[in-house]
A and B are shown apart, each in its own frame.
Chain A
Amino acid sequence: MITVDDNNPTPPFEQIRSQLSAQILTGVLADGDRLPSVRQLASDLGLAPGTVARAYSILEADALIESRRGAGTRVRHQSSHPRTLVPETERFIREARANSLTLEETVQIIRATWA
Chain B
Amino acid sequence: MSLIFPTLIALAASAAFVVIAIAMFRRSRSQKFPTVMLGDSDDDSRALLRSVRSRMRWAIVISTAVTFGVAILPIDRWGTALMVAPGIGVVAGLAFISAAPLGRRSRWPDVRHAALAPRQTASFGPRWGFLLPIVTVSSLALFLLVTAATASVDSFGLSRSITVTSESGSHSSGPYPGWFYALPLLIIALLISAATLLSVYRIASAPARGTAETAMFEAAARRSLTKFSLMSATAVIVFYLGAIAMTAGTAIRSASQWTALKPEYINDPSKLGTPPVPGDFLRGVVQPQFAAASTEVLVGLVLIMFALTLVLLAVEVALRGPITSRATPDNLLTVSA
Whether chains A and B associate is yes
Chain A contacts to B: CB under 8 angstroms:
1-7, 23, 29, 34-37, 39-41, 43-46, 72
Chain B neighbourhood of A3, CB < 8 A: 111-113
Interface status of B212 (Cβ within 8 A of chain A): yes
Docked-complex contact B118 and A44, CB < 8 angstroms: no
Question: B113's contact among A2, A29, A34, by CB below 8 Å, is which?
Answer: A2
Knowing that A2-B113, A6-B111, A44-B210 are A-B contacts, what are 17 other residue pairs whose CB atoms are under 8 Å apart, sorted by A's residue number? A4-B114, A6-B110, A7-B111, A29-B116, A35-B118, A36-B115, A36-B116, A39-B205, A43-B208, A44-B114, A44-B207, A44-B208, A45-B112, A45-B114, A45-B210, A46-B105, A72-B118
| Complex Cα–Cα for A46 and B210 (A) | 8
Q: How far is the CB of A27 from chain B (nearest CB, A)?
A: 14
Docked-complex contact A1 and B114, CB < 8 angstroms: yes
Docked-complex contact B113 and A43, CB < 8 angstroms: no
- Chain B interface, DSSP helix/strand/loop, else mixed: loop
| Complex Cα–Cα for A3 and B117 (A) | 14
Given contacts A43-B207, A44-B208, A45-B210, contact A5 B114 (CB under 8 A): no
Docked-complex contact A2 and B114, CB < 8 angstroms: yes
| Complex Cα–Cα for A37 and B118 (A) | 7
Docked-complex contact B110 and A36, CB < 8 angstroms: no
Interface status of B108 (Cβ within 8 A of chain A): yes
Chain A neighbourhood of B110, CB < 8 A: 5-7
Chain A neighbourhood of B108, CB < 8 A: 46
Q: How far is the CB of A94 from chain B (nearest CB, A)?
A: 13
Q: How far is the CB of B213 from chain A (nearest CB, A)?
A: 12
Chain A neighbourhood of B207, CB < 8 A: 43-44, 46
Docked-complex contact B111 and A40, CB < 8 angstroms: no
